[in-house]
Amino acid sequence: MGGVEDHVHILCRLGTAVSMADALRQIKGSSSKWANDELKPDTKFAWQTGYAAFSVSQSKTPNVERYIAEQEEHHHKRGFKDELIDFLKRHGVEYDERYLWD
């Protein structure tokens, strides 16, 4: 797991009994509670409504781990929004930009 101020990446393996939606609901809920209880920010912390999730081949796991570890350096060169849109286009994923950012 790793990220920068406007997004986070999590590499995990989910069993067949756990849906992506359930996993993200648990991660977001638990981490929001922790952030608000422990960090006590001036304004209540909350995740955005949506998320992006991608499957990764086992053989590509080391590449993804490296990518996650280098997020801060990587995003000094290229912004997250541009990167996500390029990724979606490159992999033929249809999207409506109105629903990417809230």
Tens-digit pLDDT profile for residues 32-42 = 999 999 999 99
> Is residue 20 classed as helix, strand or coil in its secondary structure?
helix
Distance CA 29, CA 13 (A): 19
Model confidence pLDDT, tens digit, residues 41-89: 999 999 988 888 989 999 999 999 999 998 888 778 888 888 889 989 9
Domain boundaries, the chain: 6-99
User: What single letter denotes the amino acid at residue 56?
Assistant: V
Q: From residue 78, give the alpha-carbon distance in Å to each of 71, 72, 73, 75, 81.
A: 10, 10, 9, 5, 9
